[in-house]
Chains A and B, each alone.
Chain A
């Protein structure tokens, strides 16, 4: 009861603080202390959101289009990365030789900042959809690959030995022991990869497109509509939160045998 009451008070304090900040912000711009272009007041932002939903920005491209385009880009890149990284990672993780062979290359490829590939993919594939998808796929791929490898590599050897003493065939050891034991880490990799894709998309959308939330926030700035920029930022934030929640729910659903993820979560 006492803990619940403290928790309640904490939420109230936080919410009250945010509301008073917003009111102060509104007041400060009404009084002319804040320039509306640099800090559009909450009421302006609300108008911008309304306009984005009804008329669209640029005119005709409404908020749903921007959001869906961004989602489609993230998911196509992410799916591509999963398709390539999971089988490859399972293969490398099972073989110490392959692991040693590929380790430095993977480490380096992971260190390459994904967005630094932007100019290269533009030269190779132009500024269209393919470039964006590949860029996101690159970012997701290496994160995913190293997590799949680690997942398979660090399966408790006792489990595998126990299965061997029971004369379990190699294939079954893989499907019944290695894979389930590795899945939590693979899942953690997928979650991190989605986060990476989410980070890359904004940068990727700043070039050669007017659709997508990343493009929206840059375009809006160019036309002195910072209220719309802020709406776009908020949408990106909401999207990020929904991704994280969705992955968590999926994980609870798919991996009921795995409780505390603390050992794989950084």
Chain B
């Protein structure tokens, strides 16, 4: 058997072992099943209480919020960092402000988000936006600062200058760092989601599990946690693939 297949098999065995151990502990009766339900029982009961269509609806709404906040964070993060890295004075002004705000954890903005945007959709998107914005910004900025000067000089020798040099040389050279920032930002946006949806939400995965806690439905909580994990895993892999393809194409195209 080739090693990859062997690893996949072992991995599957590991998942089964984990589920088996969980099932065993739950059935042993050490803890009541209503507090610590067995995995399949939890999923079945959870799905009975929250039908697949409803669950899909919550996933969809959460993903929309993440996508919106992430897109805003990515655009503004890349935009500010590129401008700040390219135009020195602008960079000198903006960077210290960013460095002052960056250490504040995204969740710590929740109270001010409520004050500024109320309890509706914008405050949730704002908190998610913050989660994505800072990693994208700092990584892009790092990339802009570390562009190989030879590349820029080569560009200049070939007659590029100003915005053209920025678009054709500097930004393509920064793409790998932008990609790193985007992946970290996506992960953080996801991590912030649940807390953002604690703000008086009436839908979304965060709402689903917090509401289930009030109703005492442990099965729904477990189902929700697993769905959040799966959604994060799947979308992160998708993003990684898209970014890898994007990087490949851009390095074949404009740059040597």
Q: Quick one: CB contact mask for B41-82 with A, threshold 8 Å, 1 for yes?
A: 000000000000000000000000000000000000000000
Instruction: Give the residue name and chain of the B residue nearest to A7 (CB).
Output: B92
Contact B198 A199 (CB under 8 A): no
Contact of A18 among B96, B106, B188, B190 (CB under 8 A): B96
The dominant DSSP class at the B interface is helix
| A112 to B12 Cα, complex, angstroms | 19
B interface list, Cβ under 8 A from A: 6-7, 10-15, 17-18, 35-36, 88-89, 92-93, 95-97, 100-112, 114-116, 180, 184, 188, 190-191, 193-195, 198, 205-206, 209-210, 212-213, 216, 218, 221-222, 224-226, 228-230, 232-233, 236
**A47 surroundings in chain B (CB, below 8 A):** none
Contact B232 A14 (CB under 8 A): no
**B236 surroundings in chain A (CB, below 8 A):** 111
Query: Does A108 sit at the interface, judged by CB under 8 A?
Result: yes
**B92 surroundings in chain A (CB, below 8 A):** 9-10, 13-14, 17
Contact B112 A226 (CB under 8 A): yes
Interchain Cβ contacts under 8 Å between A and B, 22 examples: A13-B92, A14-B95, A18-B97, A100-B6, A111-B233, A111-B236, A112-B232, A113-B229, A114-B191, A123-B216, A198-B105, A202-B108, A202-B195, A203-B198, A206-B110, A206-B198, A214-B107, A214-B108, A220-B111, A226-B111, A230-B112, A237-B102
Query: Does A128 sit at the interface, judged by CB under 8 A?
Result: no
Contact B107 A123 (CB under 8 A): no
Q: Quick one: CB contact mask for A200-239 with B, threshold 8 Å, 1 for yes?
A: 0111001000000110011011000010011011101110
Number of chain A residues whose Cβ lies closer than 8 Å to a Cβ of chain B: 58
Contact B18 A105 (CB under 8 A): yes
Contact A115 B233 (CB under 8 A): no
Contact A108 B229 (CB under 8 A): yes
| A114 to B232 Cα, complex, angstroms | 12
Contact of B111 among A104, A123, A217 (CB under 8 A): A217
Contact of A221 among B36, B111, B191 (CB under 8 A): B111
Contact A104 B100 (CB under 8 A): no
Contact A240 B213 (CB under 8 A): no
**A119 surroundings in chain B (CB, below 8 A):** 209-210, 212-213, 221
Instruction: Give the residue name and chain of the B residue nearest to A205 (CB).
Output: B107
Known: A101-B11, A113-B228, A116-B206. A233 touches B194 (CB 8 A): no
- For window 10-30 of chain A, which residues contact chain B by CB distance below 8 Å? 10, 13-15, 17-18, 21
| A230 to B115 Cα, complex, angstroms | 12
Query: Does A88 sit at the interface, judged by CB under 8 A?
Result: no
Question: How near does chain A come to B200, taking the closest CB pair, in angstroms?
Answer: 13
**B17 surroundings in chain A (CB, below 8 A):** 101
Query: Does A264 sit at the interface, judged by CB under 8 A?
Result: no
